[in-house]
Amino acid sequence: MALTCVSSGTLHGVEAHSVEVEVNAGESGQIDIKLVGLPDAAVRESVDRVTTAIKNSALRWPNKPITINLAPADIRKEGPSFDLPIALGMAALDEERNGRLKQGALEKCSVAGELALDGRVRPIKGILPLTIQAKREGKKAILVPAENAAEASIVEGIYVYGVDTIRSAYELLSGDKSVRPHDLDREAFFQSKQDYPIDFNEVKGQAHAKRALEVAMAGGHNILMLGSPGTGKSMLAKRLVTILPTMTEQEAIETTKIHSVAGLVDAKNSFLATRPFRSPHHTISDVGLLGGSSHPTPGEVSLAHNGLLFLDELPEFRRSTLEVLRQPLEDGRVTISRAAGKFTFPSRFSLVAAMNPCPCGYLGDPARECRCSPNQIEKYLQRISGPLLDRIDLHIDVPAVDFQELRTEKGGESSAAIRQRVEEARAIQLQRFISHPGVNCNCDMGTREVSEFCKLSPASEHTLEQAMDSLNFSARAYDRILKVSRTLADLEGERDIKEMHVLESIQYRTLDRNLWA
């Protein structure tokens, strides 16, 4: 056998592309190993790792010139995941000393894994998209590092074999060793990962804020909380994921793919069945938030896909950093162009932000005096651009909780009770927008959908007109009020938007009413 082919794959964003590892032994010439096919530095270094690992595993390759081609040649290959397929391809060439691989075994499976010098197989990033690609290519099985086996087993319709050494991988393919595929009860596994360690009933007081947060999650709206330090803004934000609709299995796989590519999935946390909550520090860079670097990886907006992105102390973020949020908030995805290529990462999330009302934090506080000048307050608020604020549907006050509320032992509603109402409202919206592609909930509505689904009665229209005139609401606030009013009606199962819904929606425009006008 002068040529062997081993199927593998390479990552491009959060998707995988099929790669054929071709290993050929020449008849004569200088004994050398050449690796071609647009490899990066990590792939080029694999030759040294592979040859040492083969020797230390009591396997051999022919004493002939070896050429290794990673096809297709026009796609850049990155990372150490090609170690194992290259090693198996080289070892398969030496039938006389290594034995003969089981007929057709290499054709039916895909292989990925990094090798240690002693022949051990180390875990790699992105095994979930690689497994999905192998199944898409019609492979019957995939060989992965043992620590990645649980993650790969999430994909139905393909056998997953976890191997811990190159020797065990070779013996499995040659039929010398009988190994059962990794067994995973997907439904039980999915259910076991859906528990949150926190609950909304742990939050004392803040009835108005809780109501606004429920409305925001019911309609998928972005929300901004204003309040003095210590009023519980962060505590509320962290519990928001517990009232979002339970993730479907498809959403969980999408989310896990992103975290797998970012290297945030391990043997203990191989699957994300709860919605992600990402809270980057205000010193984060544009690349850290959006994603990028020379070989683009997901940023915080993509890691928050299907979940929440919480930006605490919003005005402290660099303005340029906040501006990059506009595309993912609008399109639900991020497109990054680099020398290595053009990459698209999904980023459909709800934005939850928190800020103080002024630089010192005590503007409007009944117990402490604000020492900020009007000019300082204006400059502080102007750190948030109009276009970004335009994408935030609700902004609410979060006042300090009084002593009696803190001392009470009675908790509020549980997350499960609130989540049920949110899911019922979301179900109404999914049915409403069934013939409107790209619109899944009220926050996604464009001008056409707002005109069609947010019609007001004469009394409601008169109320909104008075609010626009007396409170100096902007045009952008008008659409936001209509969308939130639609969500309030959905929460109550009402077909039409009523005047009380409009009135409540107006209350959720704190910046327009008090500070931003």
Give the domain CATH number at 340: 3.40.50.300
Q: Is the pTM of this model over 0.85?
A: yes
pLDDT band (50, 70, 90) for residue 517: very low
Side-chain-facing half-sphere of 393: CA atoms under 13 Å: 28
What is the residue type of 163? V
Over residues 72-114, the pLDDT tens digits come to 998 889 889 999 999 999 999 887 666 777 667 888 999 999 9
Q: Do 87 and 215 belong to one domain?
A: no
Q: How many structural domains compose the chain?
A: 3
Give the Cα separation of 305 and 290 in Å (integer): 12
pLDDT band (50, 70, 90) for residue 206: confident
Q: Confirm whether 421 is domain-assigned.
A: no
Q: Do 171 and 208 belong to one domain?
A: no
Q: Do 406 and 453 belong to one domain?
A: no
Give the Cα separation of 433 and 279 in Å (integer): 31
Of 414, 430, 465, which closes a domain?
414
Q: Do 40 and 65 belong to one domain?
A: yes
Give the Cα separation of 232 and 205 in Å (integer): 10
What is each CA distance from 444 to 197, 326, 331, 482, in whole angstroms?
A: 30, 14, 10, 13
Helices within 396-474 (DSSP H only)? 403-407, 415-432, 447-453, 458-470
Over residues 355-380, the pLDDT tens digits come to 999 999 888 888 888 899 999 998 99
Q: Do 204 and 180 belong to one domain?
A: no
CATH number for the domain spanning 170: value is 3.30.230.10
Q: Write down the mean pLDDT value for the chain.
A: 89
Q: Do 468 and 392 belong to one domain?
A: no
CATH number for the domain spanning 455: value is 1.10.8
State the pLDDT at residue 96.
64
Which residue range is the domain that position 132 belongs to? 3-184
Q: Confirm whether 191 is domain-assigned.
A: no
Q: Do 90 and 52 belong to one domain?
A: yes
Q: Confirm whether 166 is domain-assigned.
A: yes
> In percent, how much of the chain has pLDDT > 70?
95
What is each CA distance from 139 to 16, 71, 84, 134, in whole angstroms?
A: 14, 17, 17, 6
Over residues 282-295, the pLDDT tens digits come to 999 988 898 877 67
Count the helix, strand and coil residues of the chain and give each as a percent rounded to the nearest 5: 45, 20, 40
Cβ proximity of 109 and 143 under 8 Å: yes
DSSP for 100-124 reads -PPTTHHHHEEE--EE-TTSBEEP-
State the pLDDT at residue 1.
52
For residue 189, pLDDT over 90 is answered with no
Cβ proximity of 166 and 119 under 8 Å: yes
State the pLDDT at residue 94.
83
Q: Do 458 and 399 belong to one domain?
A: no
State the pLDDT at residue 516.
40
Q: Do 373 and 244 belong to one domain?
A: yes
DSSP 3-state assignment of 65? coil
